[in-house]
Structure 1
Amino acid sequence: MKVIVLGAGIIGVTSAYQLAKAGHEVIVIDRQEGPALETSFANAGEVSFGYCSPWAAPGIPLKAMKWLIMEHAPLVLRPKVDAAMLSWLVRMLSNCTSERYAINKSRMLRLADYSRISLADVRQETGIAYDERMQGTLQLFRTQAQLDASGKDVKALATDGIPYEVLDRDGCIRAEPALNHVREKIVGGLLTPKDETGDCFKFTNALAKIAERIGVRFVYNTVVKRLDVEGGRRVRGVATNRERIISADAVVVAFGSYSPLFLKPYGIKLPVYPVKGYSLTVPILDASRAPESTVMDETYKIAITRLGDRIRVGGMAEISGYTNDLGQARRKTLEHSVMDLFPGGDASTATFWSGLRPMTPDGTPVIGPTKIAGLFLNTGHGTLGWTMSSGSARVIADLVSGSKPEIDATDLAMSRYA
């Protein structure tokens, strides 16, 4: 089949690679001049198969109210007259129950663990390099209350068979020796040893080149104007600003936060909303005071990741619509978290960046068919696009091919919102 993939971020490129491997003729279209130049460009760098949780959780509404008045808040809400924002917030709050949290986390862990296997397969197939490390994620607790509250995550990890270790202060320092310099600031942690780290931008660009070698065609600097839908029932291709129609047997939408805007004219109400995240890329000056892998600072919800000779500091959630401004207050929060724990870098020369994460209200991405035959979705991965990309790509390649995915994908589709 001829398949068009819309979007050349981590989700689009991994999808194209798997579709080409499945024997399809694949075209990837993106408005940027190359791969991974939007949300995939400078994300936190964590590939967190175990540290994988929905934001909608019990206690979040109360925490959110406290966060809104914190100096270094992990959440920023800028209300506006926006029906999509209000609808998404209401849906997210409805998922903040113990029952919904358990369901949502379980299916996220299922997809993430499958992605762990899939990413390992890609490494073996291609020999791809991207500043990767395989040393786990340490969720770091500064207070006893945070450590006590981790019980729900431990239970979910145990239920799904995901390896983990609950660590005391000395255990955290064994995992991340640089924390010995600030041992009085921590009480414990939760280690998920199967987690990895890596530069998403490097990976996506390298995989795009490999995909090209096996026949994928990439069309950059091109805006997709609309779908070509026959009789409102079957997709036949897309129209762009360069070509009236590019025909196809199937189209995969991987436009991230912009997917719902693109799909709205076709009566597809995708509950994805942009949640802006920020990152700093900090040069390492003293490796003895830098992380070995990823440390998740639970207090500020910030990931601090080692990427070669750099530290990538990423996190926070700003709900403000489709805005990409760089708020200096957000930079101060990132600097505070990393320099408080790992003062081995030079924050004054750090590169500051922001990107729009495509979030669903239940935390799980939307992967699968739509009511329009031949039109598929692979979007809504939120903060976990890098983590879930390889598994999501294999699922979508199987579904487009008419094959049964290797994991249960029925509750990943758009139909779960019916």
Structure 2
Amino acid sequence: MKVLVLGSGVVGVTSAYYLARAGHEVTVLDRQGSAGMETSFANAGQVSPGYSAPWAAPGIPIKAIKWVLMRHRPLVLWPSFEPRFYGWLARMLANCTEEAYERNKGRMVRLAEYSRDVLRDLRASTGIAYDHRERGTLQVFRTAKQVDHVGDDTRVLDAYGVPYEILDRAGCVAAEPALGRVSDKFLGGLRLPRDETGDAHLFTQRLAAICEGLGVRFRYGVRVDGVHIACGRVAAIETDVGLVRADAYVAAMGSFTPALLRPVGIRLPIYPVKGYSLTLPVVNPDAAPVSTVMDETFKVALTRLGDRIRVGGTAELAGFSQTLRIPRRATLERCVRDLFPEGGDLGRVSFWTGLRPMTPDGTPIVGRTRYPNLYTNTGHGTLGWTMACGSGRVLADIVSEKAPDIPHADLALDRYAA
């Protein structure tokens, strides 16, 4: 079957890979000049099933008010005149209940754990290298209140069988030796030993090359403009170079997927959440992170990627603006100066922003739509890298009319029908 994948980010390329492995003839369209050039380009670098949890959680509305009052705040909300934003926000707030959180967390952990296993299988079968490390994630607590409330996190981890370690200051230094230089900055931490790290952009580019070896055709520099429907099915995709036809179509354009599908009656509850990152060269390996350190106070992740440090964080609700805002950079710089002051060179830093496609319940939208030959794989929010391989494999199985390895019905768009 001929399958057309729209989007060549990490989710689109993993979808293409598993579709090709299933025997389909796959073409990928993307407006950029190569794979992984937008949201997948410079994310935080974590493959973190242990941190797979929805933003919508009990107590979040109160926390959000406190966050927006902080100088180095993890959440930034800009005034909006978009009715669609307020509809999305209302749905998110409706998910801030114990019952909804448990349901959504269960979906996300299921997919994320599966995705990590699928990624490991892919790595073993292809030999792909992308500055990956299997050294876990360490969440560091700066305050006694954070230490005292660690049970809030571990109860959820216990419920889903996710291994963890509660560490004192010495335990944190044992896991991340460079923190011994700044041990006055934190009191303890929570370590998730099964989490991984890696460069999502490098992975996406190298997997695209592997896809080409499997016969996948990538058409870069092609803008996707619309969807043509005939007889209750997708008949073609309208692009700036003409109509492109296939037997089946996969929409994997991240935050831009809703605008593409809205004119044909498919309303995806996805809103762009802007994230920022810094990338700086390592100048002293002994003073740099070993894996990922998550600063719980500022919700910033500091990750070792080969000879670089990636510092990622901030959730900014600003529509589709991609303006690089200096206060967000200051927050990221503060965290790296606090925790790894001698590890990297802030004089040679790259500052980046990307739009993360977020659903109100945190779970991506993977599966069939009202049109029998149109599928979605989008809405992964901050966990696109974590969930990419698993959602790509599930999507390929659904397209191939094969039962996926994990329950998947609650990942599809129709979960919002109620």
Name the TM-score, length of structure 2 as normaliser.
0.98
Measure the CA separation in 1 of the matches of 2:345 and 2:361. 37
Cα distance, 1:75 vs structure 2: 0.4
Correspondence for 1:147: 147
Cα deviations across residues 321-345 of structure 1 (Å, max 9, x unaligned)? 0000000110000000111011111
Give 3-state SS (helix, strand or coil) of 2:50's partner: coil
Matches within 5 A, 1:155-304: 155-231=155-231, 233-243=232-242, 245-304=243-302
Correspondence for 2:392: 393
Correspondence for 1:47: 47
Give 3-state SS (helix, strand or coil) of 1:50's partner: helix
2:222 maps to a residue whose letter is T
Measure the CA separation in 2 of the matches of 1:141 and 1:11. 32
Cα deviations across residues 136-157 of structure 1 (Å, max 9, x unaligned)? 0111111122233332321222
Could you say what the CA RMSD is over the residues aligned between the two structures, in angstroms?
Answer: 1.0
2:61 maps to a residue whose letter is P
1:285 maps to a residue whose letter is V
Kept after mapping to 2: 8 A contact 1:276/1:354? yes
For the pair 1:102 / 2:102, whether they are aligned, the reply is yes
Cα distance, 1:165 vs structure 2: 1.2
For the pair 1:320 / 2:296, whether they are aligned, the reply is no
Cα deviations across residues 325-374 of structure 1 (Å, max 9, x unaligned)? 00011000000011101111111221000000000111111101011111
Correspondence for 2:5: 5
Correspondence for 1:333: 331
Cα distance, 1:226 vs structure 2: 1.4
Cα distance, 1:166 vs structure 2: 1.5
Cα distance, 1:103 vs structure 2: 1.4
Correspondence for 2:410: 411
Give 3-state SS (helix, strand or coil) of 1:281's partner: strand
Measure the CA separation in 1 of the matches of 2:152 and 2:10. 30
Correspondence for 1:348: 347
Cα deviations across residues 284-310 of structure 1 (Å, max 9, x unaligned)? 111222100001111001110000111
Cα distance, 1:375 vs structure 2: 0.6
Kept after mapping to 1: 8 A contact 2:3/2:250? yes
Kept after mapping to 1: 8 A contact 2:368/2:412? yes
Measure the CA separation in 2 of the matches of 1:353 and 1:44. 11
Kept after mapping to 1: 8 A contact 2:185/2:338? no
Measure the CA separation in 1 of the matches of 2:186 and 2:99. 31
Cα distance, 1:17 vs structure 2: 0.3
Cα deviations across residues 27-72 of structure 1 (Å, max 9, x unaligned)? 0000001101100000011111212211111211111111111110
Cα deviations across residues 156-192 of structure 1 (Å, max 9, x unaligned)? 2212122111112111111111111111221221111
Correspondence for 2:383: 384
Could you say if the C-alpha distance between residues 150 and 416 of structure 1 is closer, same or farther in structure 2, counting changes exceeding 3 Å? farther
Correspondence for 2:113: 113
Measure the CA separation in 2 of the matches of 1:285 and 1:66. 36
Correspondence for 1:309: 307
Give 3-state SS (helix, strand or coil) of 1:368's partner: strand
Kept after mapping to 2: 8 A contact 1:140/1:190? yes
For the pair 1:87 / 2:123, whether they are aligned, the reply is no
Task: Point out where structure 2 has 5 or more consecutive residues left out of the alignment.
Answer: none
Kept after mapping to 2: 8 A contact 1:237/1:250? no
Measure the CA separation in 2 of the matches of 1:282 and 1:247. 43
Correspondence for 2:58: 58
Measure the CA separation in 1 of the matches of 2:208 and 2:87. 36
2:8 maps to a residue whose letter is A
Correspondence for 2:34: 34
2:42 maps to a residue whose letter is A
Name the TM-score, length of structure 1 as normaliser.
0.98
2:250 maps to a residue whose letter is V
Cα distance, 1:133 vs structure 2: 0.4
Higher mean displacement: 390-399 or 163-172:
163-172
Higher mean displacement: 149-158 or 321-330:
149-158
Kept after mapping to 2: 8 A contact 1:31/1:222? yes
Give 3-state SS (helix, strand or coil) of 1:40's partner: coil
Cα distance, 1:92 vs structure 2: 1.0
Kept after mapping to 2: 8 A contact 1:236/1:250? no
Between Structure 1 and Structure 2, how many residues are aligned? Answer: 416
Task: Point out where structure 1 has 5 or more consecutive residues left out of the alignment.
Answer: none
Q: Percent identity?
A: 58
1:314 maps to a residue whose letter is G
